[in-house]
Structure 1
Amino acid sequence: MAEQLTELADDRALLGRTSTAERVSDILRSRIAEGYFPPGTRLSEDGIGGALGVSRNTLREAFRLLTHERLLVHELNRGVFVRVLTVEDVEDIYRTRTLVECAVVRGLGEPPYALGALAAAVEEGQRAAHDHDWKALGTADIHFHRELVALAASERTDELMRSVFAELRLAFHVVDDPRRLHEPYLVRNRRLLRTLEAGDRQEAERMLETYLADSLERVVEVYRRRIGEDGTGAR
């Protein structure tokens, strides 16, 4: 936890003079999505509040917001913890991703598309793979899909998917071999980018639907092995 708090203190400047619960929840959501707080982590009010320089009431409101987003869970007399997902949670995350991401690609309109940020996410993943940093590769994969959703130019869609992608990171934490999970999708991300660069959104949608189905199957397989066939996800 000490390392996470040190990293979190770097975000304090982002609060500026508007240290609201919403801004705090944005920071914590981003940190969860980047893998700094694994599932089951107890979040210290004193530690996080001190790192960000916010009041206990502000932090508790931020916790409440993230609990509503299913990223945190409050346990009576124990505190607030980063949520441990169930198999059913993972399946629902991918169901949502398929509905939203495929719809974004389907609705792109006529090419060319603004793919600079998508290409940057592919390069980010390539660098992570070169450095054998598999956690960073997982983050780059999430960034790729976040930028894919951003092609819709819809703040509402971006907001919806921010918490979905943060939950996805919680699923990735359970994977015991992140290289085996993420590395094949770096190639698929590049192929999807090339297909969009060619302006073939129908083929891109088909590729994406297959991609997400394969990813779901792989993640669920790991979940069933790691947290039990009943999928309870209990700590």
Structure 2
Amino acid sequence: MAARVAVRSGLEGDRALLGRTSTAGRVADILRDRIAEGFFPPGDRLPEDEIGRALGVSRNTLREAFRLLTHERLLVHEMNRGVFVRRLSVEDVVDLFQLRRLLECAAVRTVGSPSPDLGALRDAVKAGRGAARRRGWQDLGTANIRFHQAIGALAGSARIDEIMRGLLAELRLVFHAMADPRRFHEPYLARNVEILGALEAGKGKVAERLLGRYLDDALAQLLDAYSERTKGA
């Protein structure tokens, strides 16, 4: 009963985000954000009736939203049990970073002078600095995700933008394994600034080298924490 009340109180405020034309896509957007925030952590079952009532949407609309998020690999359907937030394996984490290397490093490699519009990258760095000042480590993690989304956008491809959005949303499931979010997120803010500086100078190949080392270090750190956490899962 307490869990049901928590779901209703946690999601009823999101109902206004649906507007007058409630669609499965908008419901999926809300649930994706809630999963990224940790409101529904990996392994949690999503209670269909409670979520539907909280958001004021039909069962069919909610099931379509679940289908969309399952396609994005954020949810998994278990026969006769329901829909659950995915728990990623160590192999999943390695695969995600392999894809990040391909997409992000390629996006910065060809940046030259004059540099493209880097406003979204600057905004993400600014948001990260603000989050660090107020010790909002989860917000810093969100700013970091936005920084990498903006890196992907440098490729100028709507398809790559879509892939990056799903990839980074899936990666947030891994971040929940970090016992100390400050220790994980804070050091990478300075590295974001360094990458941005190289891009502002039109030095795409320098940015690529910096980003490659960044991704290698982040993967090693995540694997160390994630493998320890999943041993007891």
Normalised TM-score (structure 2):
0.90
Q: How does 1:155-194 map to 2 (within 5 A)?
A: 155-194=158-197
CA deviation after TM superposition for structure 1 residue 5, in Å:
4.8
Letter in 2 for 1:176: A
Provide the aligned C-alpha RMSD in A.
1.9
Alpha-carbon contact 1:33-1:165 (below 8 Å) kept: no
Letter in 1 for 2:148: H
Alpha-carbon contact 1:85-1:170 (below 8 Å) kept: yes
Aligned partners of 1:185, 1:172: CA distance in 2, in Å?
14
2:121 corresponds in structure 1 to 118
Q: How does 1:22-33 map to 2 (within 5 A)?
A: 22-33=25-36
CA deviation after TM superposition for structure 1 residue 109, in Å:
5.2
Letter in 2 for 1:65: L
CA deviation after TM superposition for structure 1 residue 179, in Å:
1.1
Letter in 2 for 1:92: D
CA deviation after TM superposition for structure 1 residue 155, in Å:
1.5
The DSSP-based 3-state class of the residue aligned with 2:61 is: helix
2:92 equivalent to 1:89: yes
Alpha-carbon contact 1:102-1:209 (below 8 Å) kept: yes
CA deviation after TM superposition for structure 1 residue 14, in Å:
3.4
Q: Do the aligned partners of residues 20 and 97 (structure 1) sit closer, same or farther apart at CA in structure 2, a change above 3 Å counting?
A: same
Aligned partners of 1:51, 1:165: CA distance in 2, in Å?
27
What is the percentage of aligned positions where both structures have the same residue? 60
CA deviation after TM superposition for structure 1 residue 16, in Å:
2.7
CA deviation after TM superposition for structure 1 residue 23, in Å:
2.5
Higher relative contact order (CA 8 A, sep 6+): 1
Please, which runs of 5 or more residues in structure 1 have no aligned partner? Answer: 229-233
Alignment length (residue pairs): 230
Q: How does 1:208-219 map to 2 (within 5 A)?
A: 208-219=211-222
The DSSP-based 3-state class of the residue aligned with 1:42 is: coil
CA deviation after TM superposition for structure 1 residue 18, in Å:
3.4
2:132 equivalent to 1:129: yes
